């Protein structure tokens, strides 16, 4: 996996943990950044909520994962100006995960 993932007008720098739009930083907290990095690194593939939970939150999740996950996806969509209804970057696959 490379250090910079590019999609649309965005760049995701995995080393500096920065999201850039046309070279300008876009604010994204650490947890949503990790989720976005996982999704972007597997572009076009289905990533299950269980995979995200294990890889981002770890095996021992002590927080309300469902609420945390939904909040992360909402923050990512806001940062990307994306919507669930007409997704350009993050597609929700009901009962499966995200692509």
The answer for residues whose C-beta is within 8 angstroms of residue 49's C-beta and 6 or more apart is 69, 97, 98
pLDDT given for residue 35 in this prediction = 94
Rounded to whole angstroms, the Cα distance separating 65 from 57 reads 8
- Is 33:10 a contact under the CB 8 Å cutoff? no
pLDDT given for residue 2 in this prediction = 63
pLDDT given for residue 26 in this prediction = 96
Q: Which of 42, 71, 70 is nearest to 55 (CA)?
A: 42
pLDDT given for residue 63 in this prediction = 66
Rounded to whole angstroms, the Cα distance separating 17 from 2 reads 13
Mean pLDDT per 10-residue interval, the chain, length 99 residues: 85 94 94 94 91 82 75 94 91 89
Rounded to whole angstroms, the Cα distance separating 36 from 73 reads 8
């Amino acid at each position: 996996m490379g250090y910079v993932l590019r999609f649309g007008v965005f760049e995701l720098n995995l080393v500096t943990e920065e999201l850039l739009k046309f070279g300008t930083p876009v604010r994204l907290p650490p947890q949503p950044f990790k989720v976005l990095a996982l999704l972007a690194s597997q572009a076009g593939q289905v990533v299950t909520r269980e995979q995200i939970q294990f890889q981002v939150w770890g095996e021992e999740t002590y927080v309300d994962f469902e609420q945390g996950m939904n909040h992360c996806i909402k923050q990512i969509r806001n940062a990307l100006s994306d919507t669930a209804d007409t997704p350009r970057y993050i597609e929700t696959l009901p009962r499966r995960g995200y692509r």
